[in-house]
A and B are shown apart, each in its own frame.
Chain A
Amino acid sequence: MAYVATRGGERAIEQSQRLFKAEMGEITPERVAEIRAAMPYLIDRVMGEASLYDEDLAALALAQTGGELYEAVLLLRAWRTTQPRIAVAEPVTQEGLFTHRRISATFKDIPGGQVLGPTMDYAHRILATEVLDGEVHRPDPVEPAARPSPARQPSVAEWQAENGLLTAAVPDTTVGNDIPDVTREPLLFPAKRAHTLQSLARAETGGVLALGYAAQRGYGQAHPTVNELRLAEAEIVVTHPRGTQFSAGRVKVSQAEVVDKKGDGLRLGFAATLGWNEVKVIAAATLDLNAEGAPKGAPTEEEFFLYHTEGVESSGFCIHFKLPHYVTFQSSLDAMRDAKAQKAATEKSPEPAE
């Protein structure tokens, strides 16, 4: 006789996975293609959190996990970690971005102009229930502007720096493999600037929002104004072993700069991520803006927000509490019972007076 049905454990695992998958049915190339086409913002969010830009793989991860976002991101990250690094792309600059949307809240108009681009900001949020009644919802075609906005736009912060409103950031000249990579080395504090920005770029959207919102509501020292928000495409320029530089394609990126007054100037918070995800970059830039000088243990302190917005780590730890903990529980129970017994014993027989 077996002490416990060992095979049972493995069979249970197998069957539980089958149950999970049974509800989703077949995963077909068509399904993956449909997810990719129908949910670009979800794909973007997942790619950003996974630090892996591949729309097909992101769509596949969503299909495979039934849209369980944390699982989808974990799946992509676990895949990413096994991939070789062939090249490190050239840095992208704001001026070089192929810009779809670019707005600033600091000025009515900005050099280069406000470009509304694709957004639901001013839409009335009404469900198109007619679709459920059998009608097809066809978006109205876009009417091109008489004069297209320029594809490339100058940086607002640069204009502010030129006009003495803020101190321009010192350009980091580190290139290639020398750029610290938070997926290949531990995050230590005070964090390297690259590690901070990389961590925010791959942070979980909801987590960044929760802490960024806390800072915006008043648990931070700085009140953000959106200096510049951009949705753009960035050219991935790599160097061929022969030495020629070429574009390997374009990736969607979002970036936000938020400002607050500091003394007689402005200070800047920055965040960027793969894919288009406005909420995330604004919230993340708010945290970056608030990080300097934040007290230890505050939600705006770098260590606090970088640890607690790491989606794969936080979700994994949260669900790990489902694992059996009966050994630790037993150990605590033993200490509790003993303390109780000791207390009862002392109460029964008080120390005799000397």
Chain B
Amino acid sequence: MSLHPVPSDFEARCNATFDAVMWALARPGVMRDLPQAGLAQVVDALIDRECAVHCPDEALAMLARRTGAELVGPEAADHVFAETVTPEMPDRLACGSDLHPEDGATLVAGAVFGTGQRLRLTGPGVDVEVIVTIGGLPGDFWQRRAGAMRYPMGFEMLLVDGARLIGVPRSTVVEVL
């Protein structure tokens, strides 16, 4: 068997995307760079026919469908891609169970960094505390998020602003300042 230790462009891009995603969740609130702008990057790196995806945006839904993923409602989705988060979304996402916390969803959403609510993040991956300013989410989003989750049940968030990424796993406590 001959070897091919050179990644394709697609492979390299997915690898770089996941590197950003992994570190974003390992260090909540610390901004990371995606190789290219947009939620589509995360679709490419994570989604395939084994996934159930909810995606209100047409173009992204097309992309997700092409990977072979099943398109479903938010409650049944293991991944949700939304350019705009709706107010009721936190209550509708899968949080898994105590027995299977891994069944909690991953929400990949558009957001605006640098304007909006000032947030204090604490928890695993945070060195004491980190303060971030994130806009583009519904006003009571963080309260509803806290109400919807009971650790270790919950969902992960990957917030994307252009080619910048901030991760907020379920283990992060978010305080609106």
Contacts and interface: CB of A to CB of B under 8 A. Distances in A.
Classify A-B as touching or not with yes or no (CB < 8 A). Answer: yes
A162 to B, nearest CB: 38
Interface residues of A, number: 3
Nearest to A186: B102
Nearest to A184: B50
A184 B49 CA distance: 11
Interface in A176-217: 177, 184-185
Contacts of B50: 184-185
Interface of B: 49-50, 68
Contacts of A184: 50
Contacts of B49: 177
4 contacts: A177-B49, A177-B68, A184-B50, A185-B50
Contacts, number: 4
A109 to B, nearest CB: 48
A184 B50 CA distance: 9
B10 to A, nearest CB: 15
* Chain A, interface SS category: loop
A52 to B, nearest CB: 16
A177 B51 CA distance: 12
A177 B49 CA distance: 8
Nearest to B70: A178
Contacts of B68: 177
Nearest to B49: A177
Interface string A146-177: 00000000000000000000000000000001
A90 B157 CA distance: 40
A163 B21 CA distance: 60
Nearest to A178: B70
A17 to B, nearest CB: 16
B1 to A, nearest CB: 9
A86 to B, nearest CB: 14
A327 to B, nearest CB: 27
A327 B41 CA distance: 43
B70 to A, nearest CB: 9
Nearest to A177: B49
A60 B50 CA distance: 33
A60 B68 CA distance: 34
A193 to B, nearest CB: 19
B46 to A, nearest CB: 16
Nearest to A85: B49
A195 to B, nearest CB: 15
List the 4 closest pairs (A to B, CB-CB), nearest first. A177-B49, A184-B50, A185-B50, A177-B68
A188 to B, nearest CB: 8
B115 to A, nearest CB: 42
Contacts of A185: 50
Contacts of A177: 49, 68
A185 B49 CA distance: 12
A280 to B, nearest CB: 30
Nearest to B99: A188
A184 B68 CA distance: 15
A8 B46 CA distance: 41
